[in-house]
Amino acid sequence: MALDFLKTPEKDAVRVKSEALRAQTVAILRGVGTPKGHAETTADILIKADLFGVDSHGSGNVVNYATQIQKKKYTVPQKIEVISESPSGAVISNGNGLGFVGAHRAMEMAIEKARDVGVGMVSVRDGHHIGMVGYYPLMAIEADMLGMAMTNGARSVRPALAARPRLGTNPIAFGAPAGEEKPFLFDAAMSTVASGKLGLARRLGVKIPAGWAVDAEGDPIATPPPERSEMWAQNPLGNTREQGAHKGYGLGVMVDILTGILSGGGFSAQQEGGQNQTWCMAVDISKFRPLDEFKAHMDEMVRELHNTPAEPGEKRVLVAGDPEWENEAERSVKGIPLHKSVVEALRAKAKEVGAKVLV
């Protein structure tokens, strides 16, 4: 795979069973005062990322979330409040707490509204990081619906033709159920690569490819700085004018509108590090056509794509979600490969907050 250089080398990996990792994540969050249900919701989302191979958004991040709670930058316990609501839409406040909790509630509400009127949409303000955005469409898929979610973030990506960052990576995720085939699940940042990949590169001590990030002069950088600043930026999806940078730029702004402007929580350039506003949508397929017919049609499309001849040197054509389902199957049996430094950090944080060491 193209990003194999970001995988934890087996010699530096510790395989941990997902059940133990979930329990450890819950214990750390409980140790800093997080209510049981909120801790479990957060852990479920983090562990799903670990199982899917989205290591940059996995359980290792709980150390930082716990620290933010200790520093009172996150409000815990948090209160989810409805700011405005209609039969098909709502704006809710995340209460400045764990972003996972508000985003999860937003998709629950979107699904409930979709059951009633066909489509439900909920924007979240006063939020923080929501982890792997693809988790939320999975909730809709489990309800036999289409699901979509997106979130903005503090400035880290430059607009097309710009010399300074003004957008977040602003990821978009979309999912659709199928019948005999696996669901379609698309999840991507509107930058050339998610910011978490830069963090992985720093941790592993590897260089990043040209095109991922540039300095204030627009020249590629091989080692991303540890903190965001005006002196460097990630590139929008498309990278250059000739390669379609306006597409990633435009989609990034669209995310800002649906998450930050619609909710009133603020667009990327108004966010501080760690702040995120979110938008979720669910669509009840059965309100449009019979569900079984839709799923059978999805199967036809997925098989057509899989059966497309691959280019020379490649084994097969993939559909969005294929790598994640395959990772989950493998990691559910063999365990999740965590970098030894991540395991050490989890153990240290558990001891610090008076929680049991479970990994």
Tens digits of per-residue pLDDT, 54-68? 998 999 999 999 999
Q: Residue 1: which pLDDT band, with cuts at 50, 70 and 90? A: very low
CATH number of the domain encompassing residue 93: 3.30.1370.60
Tokens found for residue 205: 């001590």
Q: Are residues 135 and 53 in the same domain?
A: no
Mode of pairing for the β-strands spanning 89-93 and 119-125: parallel
**159 falls in which pLDDT band (50, 70, 90)?**
very high
pLDDT in tens, 242-253: 888 999 999 999
CA distances from 11 to 1, 8, 196, 328 (A): 19, 8, 22, 21
Answer whether residue 27 is part of any domain.
yes
Tell me, yes or no, whether 324 lies in a domain.
no
Question: Which residue in this structure is represented by tokens 């704006």?
Answer: 91
Q: What CATH number corresponds to the domain at position 19?
A: 1.10.1530.10
Q: Is residue 238 part of a domain?
A: yes
* pLDDT: which is higher, 100 or 222: 100
For residue 270, is pLDDT > 50? yes
**pLDDT at residue 3 in the model:** 67
Nearest to 261 by CA among 148, 110, 112, 150: 150
218, pLDDT greater than 90: no
Q: Is the pLDDT higher at 208 or at 309?
A: 309
Same domain, 71 and 85: no
Under the banding of pLDDT at 50, 70 and 90, the label for residue 346 is very high
| Cβ(346)–Cβ(334) below 8 Å | no
Asked if 255 and 274 sit in the same domain, the reply is: yes
Q: In this structure, are 140 and 159 located in the same domain?
A: yes
Domain count, the chain: 2
Mark whether 145 and 216 lie in a shared domain.
yes
CA distance 256 to 150: 9
pLDDT of residue 5: 65
- The residue-averaged pLDDT of 334-352 equals 96
**What average pLDDT does the segment 259-282 reach?**
96
- Both 110 and 176 in one domain: the answer is yes
pTM of the model: 0.94
Q: Would you say residue 323 lies in a domain?
A: no
Q: Contact 232/164 with Cβ under 8 angstroms?
A: no
What is the pLDDT confidence band of residue 2, given thresholds at 50, 70 and 90?
A: low
> Which residues constitute the domain of residue 60?
8-77+335-359
Average pLDDT, the chain: 94
